[in-house]
Amino acid sequence: MKHLPLFFDLTDRTVVVVGQGAAADRRASLARSAGALVRRLDAVGPGDLEGVTAAFVATDDAERDRLAVEAIRLARVPVNVADRPALSDFIMPAIIDRDEVVVAVSTAGASPTLATMLRGQIEALLPERIGALARLAGSFRAQVNGLIGDPAARRAFWQRLIAGPAGRLAMAGDDSAARRAILADLDVARRRKKPVGVAHIVGAGPGDPDLLTLRAAQLLQEADAILHDDLVPAAILNRARRDAALVCVGKRKGRAGWAQRDIEAEMIRRVRGGETVVRLKAGDPFVFGRGGEEIEALRTAGLPVSVVPGITAALGVAASVGIPLTHRRFASAVTFVSGHAAEGAPAPAWPALAAQGHTIAIYMGATEAASVRDRLLGAGASPSMPVAIVENGTRPDERVTVGRLSDLARLAVSHNSRGEAGPSLIIVGEVAAFASIQEQPLAQVS
């Protein structure tokens, strides 16, 4: 580590800024924002550095910078020189300012542009009101420290506060409700009762970890336990907190897995035990994800639960292979259909789905390709209707085949014949011919 990162309290302390222009103005503004008393100079003279805590030099002239630094160092005042790290005692990082929360990024002066780019990425991850949450926590710090003596229990309390209802309310701008939630948690701690946890039903998207929502990425870092689908790839699970419990509760056709009622019972058990639980689902929790059943079970049990949407497979996969689900010339409607209807569920209206100008995205349909073909043909769809099968969409091993509806069962064979075939989506409609990778030339698809 070339520089030791420090956060310096400059409140009511004098800071000198030598020079004029944009660089000097920025440094003066930053120092004032930290509470410093800023003194602007064109050059350093006798007595200018008395009582000064730090100095910035930004004259935009190498010789003037050097002379200013010599005078400042004689007075034993730490100095920063704009764009001249070799002359500086300390450097200015790229700063993310969220009131009470400040993040500084430095490349030791090697590449300010890289530091700025990293700052932008970190800013995108930090909730806008994270500073309000820090300020709220600070207002209860003495009370919590006095009430909860055990360090591990105190740390667990703060983790629950930040990740739980109080934290969400504070970041949503409802400070009054957040304070009430904290007081309720403190009352539980005072009575030495184990507090209840919280469940988050989270969409993992179609597979590419960069397509996680910001909220999903944050919750993966906050969770005590992550109950995940079998189809959630390792690249996404690797974004989880290192000490989080990872529990695979997936169900795949032809393979024994967790029953839905057992998954719900496990979520309820862990939340009642005080854990922050993420139920991580491929795609979106409310699109063929049974998220509705799980939120119903948790609410019936009287437990707190939130839902974080994800990019559903049809949207992510279609974008990845260049298929527009709607197109002004070819498709004005799109329908998501499950290839495996639950017992007692209404059957899809195949005649309506087979209509011209309609795109159909069929989930979990590769093994039912022959049935899908026969139902669409029987409902009046053209045998030459373009179709695409996308396996492992958005992932590095993405695989696409394109052809005609009449050949759908044959096209699906290669996706079904491999032992560990990935999740597949079938897209039926004129827009399927836009797929960027195909098994046969588009010219053959009439």
CB within 8 Å of 335: residues ≥ 6 apart: 348, 353, 358, 359, 360, 361
d(CA 253, CA 268): 26
* Catalytic residue flag (residue 83): no
d(CA 216, CA 283): 12
Residue from 249, 278, 280 nearest 262 by CA = 249
- Two structure tokens written together for 101: 């929360």
Residue 136's H or E segment, with its range, is helix 130-139
Other Cβ atoms within 10 Å of 293 Cβ, number: 13
- Two structure tokens written together for 241: 């907190």
- Two structure tokens written together for 42: 């064109």
d(CA 136, CA 179): 8
Return the sign of the alpha-carbon dihedral for residues 71, 72, 73, 79. Answer: negative
Query: Coil, helix or strand for 362?
Result: strand
d(CA 371, CA 382): 15
Burial class (CB in 10 A: 0-12, 13-18, 19+), 277: buried
Query: Coil, helix or strand for 360?
Result: strand
What are the two backbone dihedrals, phi and then psi, of residue 249, each rounded to the nearest 5 degrees? -115, 25
CB-based contact 197:160 (threshold 8 Å): yes
Query: Coil, helix or strand for 388?
Result: strand
d(CA 115, CA 123): 12
d(CA 236, CA 124): 18
Catalytic residue among 65, 185, 224, 229: 229
CB-based contact 73:49 (threshold 8 Å): no
CB-based contact 198:163 (threshold 8 Å): yes
* Catalytic residue flag (residue 229): yes
CB within 8 Å of 307: residues ≥ 6 apart: 200, 201, 202, 285, 286, 291, 295
CB-based contact 77:54 (threshold 8 Å): yes
Which residue's entry shows tokens 């004005």? 332
Catalytic residue IDs: 229, 251
